[in-house]
A and B are shown apart, each in its own frame.
Chain A
């Protein structure tokens, strides 16, 4: 199979989860794990306990601002750094691509801002101003630029404008020196001579050119190309390459009469003169032709230089004007007049001098090739204006006169140099060109980009490498960005202060003053962070472990191909998004939240630390309502017709937990349709919530949540059963959202070609509940259908069994044997303790004084070595520790670092590699339980670290080498019970080649399923059951013992010896490694509703048998009634039998199908057709089955009156008594377990009050017992339909194989051991041990008869027996009394006690 692996951008094998990267990351994003109630960084871990514990970086495509920048500046990066006030780093990011941050921060037309997605909220981020802010706050000359060592080759650059400077800068960074030849007396090109000082002060240009020359770039001014200096000369002078960047400094002529007369000059010439000399001839009445930035610059310069009237004449309208809007506005402010829709026709001269201009009015027609509307003259609209100076500024072009004779150069018809579009190479080898001379007049940042690209080409050219390879522009049609948050509040864009208009006259003081720092930083925080990670690489600097580097940041998605024999799908679900339902106001009201949001608020690790408040105003709620079935059981407003199965139970849990957290009189009300607590012990929880906790349960589906005017509260209107309408106000409303399959999983299913149900869950057959429609692909979890954790755990084990079964032949084929280092004998040696104190980068050392602690450790008894490490867990440190153990002959080791919960096995492995027994080790938790939690009291944290180490040293000195003994695992399996669950276990294990015994007390296999007519999907049970039985009978590995019971069990996991007794009293002894209890259940025998007194009153399974037998009498019935919860959900049996609602509805539908005219009633308390069984309920209602609800205190009354079977009950909807005369009354009887205390005792397992066996863990260990090697499935666990019984059978097979496949099991070293000479044979240890590990030796034993001994295989090392032993006869290795006391006695120094 082919997988796409998305990059993590962090090396998980190196990350120690120390959090240092998070502290420096500037990008804050909503924390999804906290449902957006808190924030996280772009480098993050999903939640504290996430596995693997390593961090990851969230990235999307490169932000649009960066893509819009011709030079590709990492805009998001420097904006974020500016937001942090880290201007130096901002400049470092900028100066990767641009050596002139202060210059471009003033003059760049900032196409990036046009691309800014902040526009979707309000206005773009003031990116350009933030660039300037960085350069204002930190001198770019002080930024350290890394350059490679200087090479021999030199490059000539013609022109010191942005293109030339950029090329020189990028070349010197690569170690290539260049000489810039500049024709004018000063460097800077158009930046200096084209842009007036009021926009770009000269010292800014000077400083930034200086930073380039500081790097070693040579600059020669007054050195134009020409006859004295040709391209050929440069090559002959030894330059290896030439870059032509001479710009476009020649004004374009108007082409009208008189434009060369006295009083007329080109705009570029005017500006050059003004900028170089500070003065130029200025008229009193100046007309400027053009609408670009040059025209504006000329106009604003002319105003400053004393012109009385300045007019710009432009042939289109303001909307088409190429000059920037802010420039146009500024020039208007300064008094420049702009005449739109007018073009000059003729310069009017008097005595050869300009005295006027004849213009003509224009009008706009259809757009031309530039996309702007084309102006055409209006005939006869000529008019004259009086002027004394005319300055055309309609464009520039390169002056290529000095280049024309150069061989190899090509020119375009616009007079620009022809180059390769990727490499910027000209037709002549070694000659490159860029900037305005190649593009025609354009923007500075374009020239910067050109220079950078040319530098790359030149480096490759000098290296003799392919200049084009890998440089084709990459274009992504559909970039992925962080969505603009829907709730992002509008925030005004920051504006730079400017000097007043009056203060601008007669001088060239800079107008814009730059952003103030605080406002600038706030402005930077307007950035949406389109790319998530801004690639500022602060994390790279912060990571002391090289887990996140420039290389990991550059990781790309990879496609991997795996050879697999089977596939398991466990893609899970997504919660339903209630924002599509307007009537619940979820999107518009902050106090309507989802159940998942409430989970976070209630969580101790959540945003409020478990303090129950409304997040909108942090007020403690007094009344909370839960609304059930949001996104479930709803075809009108969403398409999820199924029941999500889990929401009733979680709502009750949330209500109970909320009351616990609120600690007072919190009012909790759950609004529901049917309360579905069909899981094990769920009904009991529901009863307790209602009766003891006072949670209100109101049967009503709320239509609308209305905000209460003038408050933040919410109002619900509902109807009670008696028709009374109630309006109630709540502080908080919780929507109990359902589960659904995410669209990407539906897509995955399509790709994998597996069939889905109509609810978009994976379609699976009843008798093969984890198999998809495609062989070899299995499924588990919520994708199989909405389910709770226990069921998901059962299914996951079942999927493992199903997937593993087809891989039997490959088992152990890919395993490697580990090399074993011989263990050094340390017994009777004096302790030689080594203490290794970890700095964990700054995680520990930043708080705890590690050198002081290490020195202290050296003073402790038996410590012969102590040292500190930067990261104790790194591979090289492990090797070092191992070497030190050998060199110093250490026989005990203490590591003071993080937590033994995560790192003890790693260090124990180091000990083993050094030949030490792994139990001669102790960890001191000076990070998680010290430096991380006491960072504000470093002295006390240091003292605590010393104490913890002293406690550890005193304990480890008393440690002894412990043995882990190996036991063979008998490869046979004993299954008690031959029903569907037991058969499933046997068949699966039999197919895997394990010898299996089924013990069945009756005379046939099949159990209760023999009596069941059909499954919920309408398939008959009998044929499938026959297959199961046949397979078990035919498999040589399976031995069937019918009419047999288990009478005795001896031994323990891996080595059981069981006695089977047949009904003839014959005994068989079987040795087996594991045992499975699948003893099933049976229907209860009702004692009510006239059962047994009238043949028309039958149980569900009897009706099934009639249906199987094809009883034709059923067709003739006029009326059939089903009563639900017969014997279930009542005080003497407070559990739901889970299967009966679906069963009765299924049978009701069968009867309706046989005879559509039959009146079929179902009398129920809550209908519990969980999951997609809900469709049956819906179908039954559609087909006319009548459902009438009753309550426990008003059960239906059944009477036989004059031969009629009459049922009376009160209809809660009609509020009236109803009487039904029926021909058939089918009782949905409770499922009761085949309880056996004897069996429970034999295996030392427990049963609950209802008679069901108690599993190891209700959620995480549903198919196994606390006793090792004993497993549980089927009805013996809890009532369940066939598909769930099969799944649990498979789950048991899978759990059993994890043991059987090991051949040998090892005891833990940390187990209890008795000292029989002290034992008083009181048997307390035997009675307290939950694992059945202690027992008494036989009375006839040769040594210490009748005293306690502990089976180390069964012992879990909990120490319960040790603490309960009155004789002090039991020791817990590794946690013995003297060891714990030594710790306690060491504390006394510690606390200054």
Chain B
């Protein structure tokens, strides 16, 4: 199981978490490459259907941050 890498779809708020993910890059922090970020204008835009769609498509986890 230690080899298992969860596949995560992240919905990040343009104004905070998306910027934070940029800053993680500027600071050269490393994290596993199994995450795909979708930029949304605000977590207010987040629709439960998006999370369900991501899970249905095979994501192991959905992360909403904002």
Contact = CB atoms under 8 A, between A and B. Distances in A.
Contacts of B27: 48, 605
Contact of A1391 (B29, B30, B34): B34
Contact of A1387 (B14, B19, B28, B59): B59
B54 A899 contact: no
B57 A933 contact: no
Given A1362-B47, A1375-B40, A1391 B7 contact: yes
Nearest to A1363: B47
Q: How large is the interface on B (under 10, 10 to 19, 20 to 34, 35 or more residues)?
A: 35 or more
A292 interface: no
A935 B21 CA distance: 15
A1310 interface: yes
B58 A1393 contact: yes
A1364 to B, nearest CB: 8
A1358 B22 contact: no
A1356 to B, nearest CB: 8
Interface in B15-62: 18-19, 21-31, 33-34, 36-42, 44-47, 49-50, 53-54, 57-59
Interface in A255-289: none
Contacts of A754: none
Contacts of B14: 901
A1390 B58 CA distance: 10
The main secondary structure of chain B at its interface with chain A is mixed
Interface residues of A, number: 52
B60 to A, nearest CB: 9
Contacts of A1360: 42, 44-45
Contacts of A933: 24-25, 28-31, 33
A1380 B26 contact: no
Contact of A901 (B7, B19, B40): B19
B36 A1363 contact: no
A1393 B36 CA distance: 12
Contacts of B54: 1384, 1387
Contacts of A934: 30-31, 33
Interface string A412-436: 0000000000000000000000000
Given A929-B21, A929-B37, A1387-B57, A1372 B28 contact: no
Nearest to B34: A1391
A46 to B, nearest CB: 13
Interface string A47-61: 011000000000000
B42 A1359 contact: yes
A501 to B, nearest CB: 54
Nearest to A944: B33
Nearest to A1390: B36
Contacts, number: 123
Nearest to A1372: B45
Given A900-B39, A1380-B38, A1363 B46 contact: yes
Interface string A1331-1367: 0000000000000000000000000111110110000
Contacts of A951: 36, 38
Given A48-B23, A934-B30, A937-B33, A1393 B7 contact: yes
Contacts of A902: 22
A1356 B24 CA distance: 27
Contacts of A17: 26
A1358 B57 contact: no
A1381 B44 contact: no
Contacts of A1393: 7, 57-59
B41 A1384 contact: no
A1380 B41 contact: no
A1377 interface: yes
Contact of B26 (A928, A947, A1328, A1390): A928
B53 A1381 contact: yes
A929 B50 CA distance: 21
Contacts of B49: 1377
Nearest to A1374: B41
Contacts of B7: 1391-1393
A1377 B52 CA distance: 13
A948 interface: yes
Interface of A: 17, 19, 48-49, 605, 609, 899-902, 925, 927-930, 932-937, 940-941, 943-944, 947-948, 951, 1310, 1328, 1356-1360, 1362-1363, 1372, 1374-1375, 1377, 1380-1381, 1383-1385, 1387-1388, 1390-1393
18 contacts: A48-B23, A609-B29, A901-B19, A901-B22, A925-B22, A928-B24, A929-B37, A933-B24, A935-B28, A940-B33, A1358-B45, A1359-B40, A1362-B47, A1363-B44, A1381-B50, A1387-B36, A1387-B57, A1390-B36
List the 6 shortest-distance A-B pairs measured between CB atoms, nearest first.
A1393-B58, A1359-B45, A928-B25, A1360-B44, A1358-B42, A932-B25
Interface of B: 7, 9, 14, 18-19, 21-31, 33-34, 36-42, 44-47, 49-50, 53-54, 57-59
Given A1359-B44, A1393-B58, 16 more contacts: A48-B26, A48-B27, A902-B22, A929-B22, A932-B25, A932-B26, A933-B24, A933-B33, A935-B30, A940-B33, A941-B33, A943-B33, A1363-B45, A1377-B49, A1387-B36, A1392-B7
